[in-house]
């Protein structure tokens, strides 16, 4: 790390964090103005609103626009350097173009790792906090409310051999019933369990069956057992039975991986949406690095019009990226495009953009 690296890196990170801090304040002020009446109705104090809502809202809004603000920050300070002929002086001193880009690689890589960790663990937890507050205090019919207090019938595949059905399951009380379980081997039912009710035991973290009738079928006889209550450890949890389309946003990556495997076992529909979300958590981080390089190359050239021209070109590129990302997601969730390809198509395209801009850049 030379003085040149520290000089550019300091400008990079300072501009980015200042921009994201300023935007966060504006976003919070706008959100407060929109929800003032709702906050008053909750009867909560300022500290409670901050901890129960804004501790979730702020990480969510920052992560949402993180790549865009990295891009804007790079264009802004690099354009200022180009306008003062600093970049011309750096390259004229014998510094190669790739060497000049080194601090951008370092800064982009640091922010890439930061966003990756946030996407895997911090942002999903923040979405849980924000979603729970909105569901309880702001809008009882909010789609974020995973605990929908309406009855529904649920059918699922518990494992490779067991199928289950839960009638009138209430996600609010975590109770349902009657319920049945069929275990099938060699295309024959070998065990049939029926219970009048099923409920989630918060103490043992297991399911409790009430008035259970367990029939184990054999070729020439059957064993029948009746139990008033029985605790069983199934591979699904209460949130697995919810029908909240935002569940994928509120699960950390290990939990999301487990949820995807469980949904695959069940044979559920809409798996592409879950997989696209999982792959995008990784792909978005690489997007930060690509946008950093694009911003540096675009804004590193001194042109008439200064920062205005650079920002205009930057916003056009950002708009193209967003459109590509939206189209690839739709083709995957509504069509047959593999989720892995859908999540990485924008990055694949913009790798080519980086190569093209790099070759065309005056060195």
- Rounded Cα gap, residues 350 and 109, in angstroms: 16
Q: What is the mean pLDDT of residues 321-330?
A: 82
Q: How confident is the model at residue 219 (pLDDT cuts 50, 70, 90)?
A: confident
194: exposed, middle or buried (Cβ count in 10 Å: 0-12, 13-18, 19+): middle
pLDDT tens digits, one per residue of 103-160: 999 999 999 999 999 999 999 999 989 988 887 787 654 444 444 444 467 877 777 7
Kindly give, in sequence order, each residue whose CB lies less than 8 Å from that of residue 357, ignoring residues fewer than 6 positions away: 294, 297, 298
pLDDT given for residue 146 in this prediction:
42
pLDDT tens digits, one per residue of 253-309: 998 898 888 778 766 667 888 899 899 999 999 999 999 999 999 888 877 666 677
Strand, coil or helix: 200: strand
pLDDT given for residue 150 in this prediction:
44
pLDDT given for residue 17 in this prediction:
95
- Whether the ω angle into residue 178 lies within 30 degrees of 0, i.e. cis, is yes
Give the ranges where the chain is alpha helix by DSSP (H).
3-42, 46-49, 55-83, 86-92, 97-100, 102-117, 123-133, 247-250, 253-266, 271-299, 307-333, 339-360
166/104: higher pLDDT: 104
For the chain, give every domain's residue range. Answer: 3-141+271-360, 152-240
């Amino acid at each position: 790390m030379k003085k040149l690296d520290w000089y550019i890196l300091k400008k990079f990170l300072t501009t980015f964090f200042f921009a994201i801090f300023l935007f966060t304040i504006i976003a919070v002020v706008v959100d407060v103005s929109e929800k003032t009446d709702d906050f008053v109705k909750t009867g909560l104090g300022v500290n409670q609103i901050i901890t129960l809502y804004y501790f979730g809202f702020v990480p969510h809004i920052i992560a949402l626009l993180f790549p865009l603000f990295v891009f804007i920050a790079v264009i802004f300070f690099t354009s200022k350097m180009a306008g003062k002929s600093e970049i011309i002086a750096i390259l004229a001193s014998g510094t190669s173009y790739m060497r000049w880009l080194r601090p951008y690689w370092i800064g982009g890589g640091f922010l890439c790792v930061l966003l990756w960790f946030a996407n895997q663990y911090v942002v999903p937890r923040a979405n849980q906090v924000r979603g729970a507050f909105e569901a309880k205090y702001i809008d009882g019919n909010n789609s974020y409310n995973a605990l929908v207090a309406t009855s529904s019938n649920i059918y699922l595949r518990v494992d490779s051999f067991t199928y289950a059905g839960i009638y009138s399951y209430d996600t609010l009380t975590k109770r349902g019933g009657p319920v049945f379980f069929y275990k099938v081997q060699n295309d024959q039912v070998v065990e049939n369990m029926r219970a009048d009710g099923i409920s989630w035991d918060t103490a043992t973290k297991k399911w409790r069956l009430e008035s259970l009738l367990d029939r184990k079928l054999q070729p020439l006889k059957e064993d029948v057992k009746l139990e008033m209550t029985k605790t069983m450890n199934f591979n699904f949890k209460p949130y697995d039975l919810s029908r909240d389309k935002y569940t994928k946003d509120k699960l950390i990556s290990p939990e999301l991986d487990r949820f995807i495997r469980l949904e695959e076992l069940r044979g559920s529909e809409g798996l592409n949406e879950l997989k696209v979300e999982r792959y995008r958590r990784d792909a978005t981080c690489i997007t930060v690095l690509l946008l950093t390089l694009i911003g540096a190359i675009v804004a590193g050239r001194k042109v008439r019009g200064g920062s205005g021209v650079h920002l205009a070109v930057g916003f056009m590129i950002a708009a193209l990226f967003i459109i590509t990302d939206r189209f690839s997601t739709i083709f995957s969730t509504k069509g047959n495009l593999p989720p892995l390809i859908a999540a990485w198509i924008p990055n694949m395209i913009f790798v080519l953009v980086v190569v093209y801009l790099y070759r065309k850049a005056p060195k």
